[in-house]
Amino acid sequence: MALKSHPAPWWRGAVIYQIYPRSFADSNNDGVGDLAGITARLEHVASLGVDAIWLSPFFASPMKDFGYDVSDYRAVDPIFGTLEDFDALLNRAHSLGLKVIIDQVYAHTSDHHAWFRESRAARDGAKSDWYVWADPKDDGTPPNNWLSVFYGPCWSWDGRRGQYYLHNFLPSQPNLNGHNPAVQEALFDTARFWLARGVDGFRLDAINFAMHDPLLTDNPPVTKAGRVRRRPFDFQHHFHNQSQPELIGFIEKLARVVRDFGEERFTVAEVGGEQALKEMKLFTAGNDRLHTSYGFDFLSAETPTPALILKTLGKWRHEKGEGWPSWAFSNHDAPRVVSRWGDRLRQDDWARLLLALLMSLRGNVFLYQGEELGLSQAQIPLERLRDPEAIANWPLTQGRDGARTPMPWNNWQPHGGFSTAEPWLPVPEEHIERAVSLQNADPDSVLSTARHLVALRRDIPALRHGDFIPLGLKAPLLGFERVLGKERVRCLFNLGAVPARIAPTGGRILFARGAGQDRLEPLGVCLSVLS
């Protein structure tokens, strides 16, 4: 199927499959997924044709934020297995042609981490300034007005030191002092540990929270009318508790550490917040920083429109020195896209359209486990919620649990074949009806569609590497071309509820659903190579 060879790094335009280890596959039947379970199911991932997997944290942790509160960067938490289990996973993935990307959480640790225990013990210890400590105001209140993502103030009192410590997320996730050279070097040593073990790169979690304003300047309030405020965090601009200019120097040092292990090693920054676009471009500019950045443009959008897609892609114009973007429609922190953007009555059609759209975008693609099955957002009853954000904000939001339910592997075993024990989150019956076993042999299934679309992206250079050229069609039609040299792939989508007329495309059809010679049905798609 390949039309033209085009040399590029493996990661440029890659499809990366995200695995949430707690919910992928349980090998020891304790109700929680583990590394051995992932290893046993890697053939499914390889069958999709993706380039790499990204593993959410599996490190030692008290699990108050399910692994994003790390207590030992170099240890596997026993619920997931051992370092030997990780080595086996890595070897099996490589044998299947899959790169392995792992999360690194450098902005904060768990309060169980040995570094924090030493830091809180005394103001004059060797690690006393490895975290962000501050004296109270004269009236005993926190040193400034900074607010955390999940709850209220960014500050918690510690009686051992008689000071407040900073946490941008849970109180059990104290922020590291990223300005401290010793902290930076300790984190670089952590990176070297995993790179030497053979990982192919890192996804850097919440990296723009890794440095703060040392002057502890108050954040200004948000005054713009109409902004949705679901949390105290939404009431202020976060100019000073994150996104500091000194972060660029840290990123460049980290990039050098990664490059020391070979040019094929890969880095992607997770960047959220109101300054995300500026930071995504800063973090990836030139050749001395990170390879790509992962934003929330689509993960936070409630409605898919042609304007949203074109405006978002249009922010990356392939200018000199500009980095390379990455896109995701679903992940472990956002409601699943077929529920957020689609509707239950046409769930399969929405799933196919969204897969086709995602695989047609310029940039890297992150595909979340179960997205290839068209899984919907699960509805979790209050008594089964595990996410601290969900519990704190119920019933306003169900938080992140509905996107984290276990993978349904087959329809004949308990809990969809994920585990023989009661899983840590329930497996909805509607997910079991979309199990891998039911979709595998069906050439018209969402799973078969996903495999076909990933193969198109892999085999057609314009889809993987080409420029993005909008066609200027009238909504609800979305149209653009991916162009590389003389190769042009026209991508047409009807995001509306009524049929729409299109000009005859000609050329060779790569993928079509609900497409006629001169019209697209509602949720119709047509991808074609133009002659």
Active site members: 205, 270
Query: Cα torsion at 237, 241, 246, 249 (round to 10°)?
Result: -100
Handedness of CA 241, 243, 248, 253 (dihedral sign): positive
Cβ contact 426:378 at 8 Å: yes
Burial class (CB in 10 A: 0-12, 13-18, 19+), 303: exposed
Q: Using the CB atoms, write b or e for 154-165: b if 16+ within 10 Å.
A: bbbebeebebbb
Name residue 35's amino acid.
L
Q: Parallel, antiparallel, or unpaired: how do β-strands 508-515 and 163-166 relate?
A: unpaired
Phi, psi of 411 (to 5 degrees): -105, 5
Nearest residue to 17 via CA among 363, 294, 370:
370
Residue 485: other Cβ atoms inside 10 A: 12
Cβ contact 529:461 at 8 Å: no
| Six token digits for residue 120 | 């809180």
Residue 391: other Cβ atoms inside 10 A: 13
H/E segment holding residue 427: none
